[in-house]
Structure 1
C-alpha cells in the first residue's frame, strides 16, 4: 500500500486519527487530549505539552502541523510554517514526515522501524 499523503489543509478532532495506507501507523488525537503516533498498536511518539488539552490537530496550508486547545489557542506545532506546498505523510514505515515543496523532509517523528 502507499503512504497516506496530505497537501491541502486537513484536520482531526479528539478520538480521530490520520492513518497510513497500510493501516499500521496512526497519528491520533486521543480522547484524553494527547497527540500520539502508534506503530502496530504501540505508542511510539507523543507531542510535548499537549496532554490533556489537545482539541484539534491541523496540517495548515503554510506547512505547519498544529495542535489547538478548545479555545483555538495553538499549544504545539512542528515549526514548519512558511512552507506552502508542503506534504504531510503518515508513512507505512511508521514515520510521520513533512516534506517541503521540493520533496525534502523538514520535520519527522523518527518513528520508522
Structure 2
C-alpha cells in the first residue's frame, strides 16, 4: 500500500516516494526531490546537480523538511522550522505538499 505522509524523523531515500492518486513525490537517485503528476514533473528541488546516490529528504522534529546530500550536508529546505514538536508532511490529493504541526501549517502549492 502506498504511503502519502511522513512523520518526525521519517524520510525518503533514493528511489523512495510518497504517492496519492496521480501524484508522486520522489527522492530520485540523482538527489533531486521531484513532484510528478502522472509522468510529468510539476516541481523539483533542483538538487540533482550532486548526481550522487545516497541523498535523503527528512521530516525533522523542528518542522523543517530538508534534503541532505550523500555527505550529510543540507542542500534544500522547506524553511518551515518552528521549534520541536509533532509534525507531519502530507502529499494531498489536491497536489499540495503540506506540513502540519500543533501550532503551524506550511504548504507548497503548484
Aligned to 2:98: 97
Residue in 1 that maps onto 2:56: 56
Decide whether aligned partners of structure 1 residues 19 and 51 sit closer, same or farther in structure 2, where only a CA change above 3 A counts: same
Unaligned runs of 5+ in 1: none
Mapping of residues 19-58 of structure 1, within 5 Å = 19-20=19-20, 22=21, 24-48=22-46, 50-53=47-50, 55-58=55-58
Q: How many residues align?
A: 104
Is the CA contact (8 Å cut-off) linking 2:5 and 2:18 kept in structure 1? no
User: What is the match of residue 71 of structure 2?
Assistant: 71
| Contact 1:87 1:101 (C-alpha < 8 Å) held by counterparts | no
Q: How far, CA to CA, are the matches of 2:102 and 2:6 in structure 1? A: 12
Corresponding residue for residue 17 of structure 1: 17
Specify every segment of 5 or more residues in structure 2 that has no aligned partner in the other structure, as ranges.
Answer: none
Taking structure 1 as the reference length, the TM-score comes to 0.78
